[in-house]
Structure 1
Amino acid sequence: MEASVGVSRRWEDLDTDILVKIFQCLDIDQLTSGIAHVCSSWRMACCDPLLWKTLDLSVMRSNFINIPVEPYVFVDDRSEEKLTRLLKTSLSLSQGNIRTLIFHFNLYVSDEQLTYTAERCPCLQRLVMPAWNRVTRTGICKAIRIWKDLESLTMPSIANPGYIMEEIANNCKNFSELKVMGPLDYSFAATIIMYLPKIRVLSLRCSMLLKDTLISILDGLRNLEVLNISHCLVIEIPPHPSPRRAMRELDQSIVDKASRLHEFVTCMKDSCIMCRCTRNDEGLMRWYRYEEGLWKADEVSSFSF
């Protein structure tokens, strides 16, 4: 009797769509660890656009120490090399298909890394980059000029933000959503109003905000549809010599001005954990103190991830 011969199927013969579904379960470290070099079919699957809509580095941190002079952080060489290597591999596999790019708030990107990234994902629509310590004015402006399709930006509170707002206004015609992580003063608000008057969504959650600044935003951004000031420490400065005070609730004048918005998201409850965190941190959140990933949350769904 003739023995039956078993037919084995090789991994490289697996349907590309099935491979892509499998690879979608991998994190960025696994996806860039070398599986693209197994065979040509695996590399083809690794380059599928479905895998590269988002480059999420929100769990990757720099190994750094704080220093007393600019840029106020020093990143060690091994950490720098790891990020550079991951970016090169990811951007090679993505073939320009990345639309969303997310960095951790303790991932300190350099000018060279940012420029390299911008040149290889020119169709970026959303950038989440909470730490700009090592990025210069020249570096971020060069990236913005490449990202003509940018629609959404999550950025830190910085001094003299006019240059970046002007760059966005001049180059990103579809820009509509801004999230600022950190205190927003009157000057910052005035810059947004000047250069981005057509912005539709603004999130300032978990930060310190002067009452007058909030009023200027409501008065100046006439196209604004959604404003999130949840868990903000809203400060009122009464006439001298009365001391400044934290508001426990918004007064009617602010509520009336905000009534034209489609959505005005607020929370100033003493019972709210996030409100208490903002007060304890005096409006400048120390996210490293809290549960990992908490900084990613936002009451506005387009900012949350």
Structure 2
Amino acid sequence: MASSPSSSSSPLPPAIKNGEYRNWAELPAEIISSILHRLGAIEILRTAQRVCRSWRRVCIDQSMWRTIDMRVPRNFEGLLQDFEVMCRHAVDLSQGGLLEIEIDHYITTSLLTYIADRSSNLKRLGYVDHDPVMSSGVSQVVMKLPMLEELELSYVSIREQDLRVVGQSCPNLRTLKLSCVGNLGCCDKVALAIAETMPGLRHLRLFRNGLSDTGLNAILEGCPRLKHLELHKCLNINLVGNLER
């Protein structure tokens, strides 16, 4: 595979050397790594690591798996019956060094537990949950992640008691992004759980949350370090008077 000639400022080596096209397998490991970091984990595991031996050596290096993006590319949708096996393999490749992981689709409580059991230093967890029944598994998982700093839950209907466990288990939590399925289950009780157990929050994003002015006031009082507050489609809030200011 050939690429166009590069300028002197480009980090890539020239595509033509001594009148012949240069083989991509001959690229330095750091350049290969730079290319691969622009791909998601699924693309690396299903395609990139099969390019050649030199690419595979980089693909299985522990340093490649400190951050894992398991979001499913559109061209792979419907082809990932083995998604959980693939995700577990990616976690294994990190050899305990995983710091950030983002997942959507095909999530089970057993998969989240597998990740937590092997990633005690995890700092960021983000997932899209299309199965509301599985949301209760969050509390079981975060109890094993005391270093967690950022948690993003999308399309969930998380219970107040589960969110309290998150706050109590993750004293380093700085960012919470919560996107609810609807107003049901995401209300002032959830807001109070945030206010009472997450005083160290710096960034809070709530989407389609049913909290009222009461819940919002509790958050503002209980999270004094909050610097960024994003409220999207939270229709029960009426910003007037002191609350507006």
TM-score bracket, normalised by the shorter chain, equals 0.7 to 0.9
| 1:26 has 2:25 as partner | no
Query: Counterpart of 1:292?
Result: none
Instruction: Give the drift of 1:200.
Output: 2.2
Query: Counterpart of 2:199?
Result: 197
Query: Counterpart of 2:84?
Result: 84
| 1:101 has 2:101 as partner | yes
CA contact (8 A) 1:46 1:93 kept: no
- Across the aligned residues of Structure 1 and Structure 2, the Cα RMSD in angstroms comes to 3.2
**1:174-193 map, 5 Å:** 174-182=172-180, 183=183, 184-193=186-195
CA contact (8 A) 1:152 1:178 kept: yes
* Unaligned 5+ runs, structure 2: 1-18
Distance 1:176 1:26 in 2: 27
Instruction: Give the drift of 1:159.
Output: 5.0
TM-score (norm 1): 0.60
Greater shift after overlay, 152-161 or 121-130? Answer: 152-161
Residues 9, 204 of structure 1: CA spacing in aligned structure 2 closer, same or farther, 3 A cutoff? closer
Distance 1:136 1:231 in 2: 21
Residues 211, 48 of structure 1: CA spacing in aligned structure 2 closer, same or farther, 3 A cutoff? same
**1:23-172 map, 5 Å:** 23-33=36-46, 35-36=48-49, 41-48=54-61, 51-59=64-72, 81-104=81-104, 107-131=105-129, 133-135=132-134, 137=136, 139-155=137-153, 156-170=155-169, 172=170
TM-score (norm 2): 0.72
Residues 121, 41 of structure 1: CA spacing in aligned structure 2 closer, same or farther, 3 A cutoff? farther
Matching residue's letter, 2:90: S
Query: Counterpart of 1:274?
Result: none
Matching residue's letter, 2:103: F
CA contact (8 A) 2:40 2:68 kept: no
- Deviations along 1:103-150, one digit per CA (max 9) or x if unpaired, are 23xx1411221112222333211111231535364x433421332210
Query: Counterpart of 2:4?
Result: none
Instruction: Give the drift of 1:220.
Output: 2.9
Distance 2:145 2:73 in 1: 23
Query: Counterpart of 2:11?
Result: none
Matching residue's letter, 1:232: C
SS of 2:134's partner is coil
Distance 1:46 1:88 in 2: 15
Residues 115, 204 of structure 1: CA spacing in aligned structure 2 closer, same or farther, 3 A cutoff? same
**Percent identity of the aligned residues?**
26
